Structure 1
Amino acid sequence: MAALQGQSRSQVNAFVAGCAERMSQIFTGIRGEDRSRVEDVELFLRILDDLWDFDASQELFNEHLNLLDEFPEISSADEVVDVAEIYCFYSVLSLRYAVLSRAGGGVDSALECAHIGLTAMGQLDQNLAGAEYFVQEGEGQSREAGVSLRKGIEQGEIEGLRNLNREIGRERLMAILSRAR
């Protein structure tokens, strides 16, 4: 996404937070049912909160990166074929690239985060008749980039953007769960 090139650190941070937020409901909604993953879900949510804190330190995200790399979705070499498992993988990978961007990976990692969202939603579209999640993700990324281009994003705008992305994430979760049944 060319709009991210040359943008400030805080502008890229807003972009990756939005991308990760749209994918987050998938992981928390599916893994939240698994008692053995309670700590992972809590960590996932804590990291997501930190992504929306544009003043959080690079060191914090380096620590988060190490913890995320221990998630089974990242550390397992097993081939995944289950629908829910595939989308949980995409969700964790999206968060990982958002964290990597905040840990110093910059725009390249932000673009990887965006690519994961587009790939996951493109795949979902292929498996659900009439779905337009790929287009929706592209619009979300454009919206985030547009907000990010402005200086001085206010807290109320950030909360509104985050809530919108949460709602989009819930819709995705419902679609994935319907496909997994």
Structure 2
Amino acid sequence: MQTLVEGAVAEALHDGGGEVVRLYVAACAERMAPLFVGLRAGEAGREADPDFYAESVRDLWHADRPLADAAERVRRLEQFWELQPNEEGITDVADTYAFFAALCLRYALLAHGSGKAGDAVSCGHAALTAMGMFDQNVTGAGFLAEE
């Protein structure tokens, strides 16, 4: 599968080590946080989910060490509706963007816990895909180019 993350960025992630990976995924998740929090805030039965997302993003910025509970957070996130298998797929616009935000956070948590560059590249790919979709759906937008 081709990735939207530029080769030089992927190479820097592979060569940079754990702290570089953790800073990169923190930035990606931070960029996607307004999507998830904004789209899911106030949704009945999901009151804790935007808080969990925001708290996780905050904690991702502690790049000097892996999150001790990263795997536990991934398991919790994987229970979110957006990441559940669905035979019909996701067709609603808000659900689509919330999916990419949740996916980005999933890869960010995985990369933060492991320091693996491959998870960081996948995190960046999820964020860049969402920005590219914005460009296609919002007149005059240049979000992908800004990333």
TM-score bracket for the superposition, by shorter chain length: 0.7 to 0.9
2:29/2:108 contact within 8 Å kept? yes
Residues 3 and 55 (structure 1), Cα distance of their counterparts in 2 relative to 1, 3 Å cut: closer
**What is the TM-score of this pair, normalised by structure 1?**
0.71
CA deviations over 1:122-154 (Å, ceiling 9, x no partner): 1111112211011112xxxxxxxxxxxxxxxxx
- Cα distance, 1:65 vs structure 2: 0.8
Number of aligned residue pairs: give it. Answer: 137
- Supply the distance in 1 between the matched residues of 2:57 and 2:12 (Cα, whole angstroms): 23
2:36/2:97 contact within 8 Å kept? yes
The amino acid across from 1:135 in the alignment is: A
The amino acid across from 1:128 in the alignment is: V
Where structure 2 has 5 or more consecutive residues not aligned to the other structure, the ranges are 1-8
Q: What is the percent sequence identity of the aligned residues?
A: 36
- Cα distance, 1:58 vs structure 2: 4.3
Partner secondary structure for residue 89 of structure 2:
coil
Where structure 1 has 5 or more consecutive residues not aligned to the other structure, the ranges are 138-181
Name the structure 1 match of 2:4.
Answer: none
Are positions 1:132 and 2:142 aligned together? yes
Q: Work out which of the residue numbers 6, 17, 25 in structure 2 matches 1:16.
A: 25
1:4/1:12 contact within 8 Å kept? yes
Residues 25 and 40 (structure 1), Cα distance of their counterparts in 2 relative to 1, 3 Å cut: same
Are positions 1:83 and 2:103 aligned together? no
- Supply the distance in 2 between the matched residues of 1:57 and 1:19 (Cα, whole angstroms): 16
The amino acid across from 2:121 in the alignment is: L
2:21/2:115 contact within 8 Å kept? no
2:21/2:116 contact within 8 Å kept? yes
- Cα distance, 1:117 vs structure 2: 1.0
Name the structure 1 match of 2:46.
Answer: 37
The Cα RMSD (Å) is 1.5
Name the structure 2 match of 1:151.
Answer: none
- Supply the distance in 2 between the matched residues of 1:11 and 1:105 (Cα, whole angstroms): 9
